[in-house]
Structure 1
Amino acid sequence: MFQDSPIYDRLVAERGDIPLQTRREAERVTRELEYVMRPLQSSLGSPHPADRPAAPGAGWQRAALPGPRPY
């Protein structure tokens, strides 16, 4: 996108390629979420909850977070 821009090139040299780093981090987080959600998605078809393996964070609730409630 900005490959032919000397200003962009200088910023990348000084600060690093922030858009590229952000994109890579977003892709990494997406892969992790897909991996974590896979057991939950595959177990949704199971008729008995006891048959499903426990997913990481299965007991998480918004009320468990510190701080004021968003109500």
Structure 2
Amino acid sequence: MKSDATRTAGLPIYESLIRERGDVVEEARAVAEETQQQMSQALAGHAAAPTEAGEH
């Protein structure tokens, strides 16, 4: 299976959209990983203080 970088290499439209709008896929991946870590900690009894919506 090809990585995201391999699949998007040479796709000028995709690269243009990233420059204009940001890499939404990467941002979503980062938020998902952060959420997964927080949930793992919460389930282990080490929950962090909640943050305001939109705060990173």
**Structure possessing the higher relative contact order (Cα contacts under 8 Å, 6 or more residues apart):** 1
RMSD: 1.4
Q: How does 1:1-71 map to 2 (within 5 A)?
A: 1-39=7-45
Q: Which has the larger radius of gyration?
A: 1
Name the CA distance, whole Å, in 2 between partners of 1:35 and 1:3: 36
Alpha-carbon distance, 1:4 to partner: 1.6
> 4+ residue stretches of structure 1 with deviation over 6 A?
none
Name the CA distance, whole Å, in 2 between partners of 1:3 and 1:12: 12
How many equivalent residue pairs?
40
- Structure 1 gaps of 5+ residues are 40-54, 56-71
% identity of equivalent residues:
30
Alpha-carbon distance, 1:30 to partner: 0.2
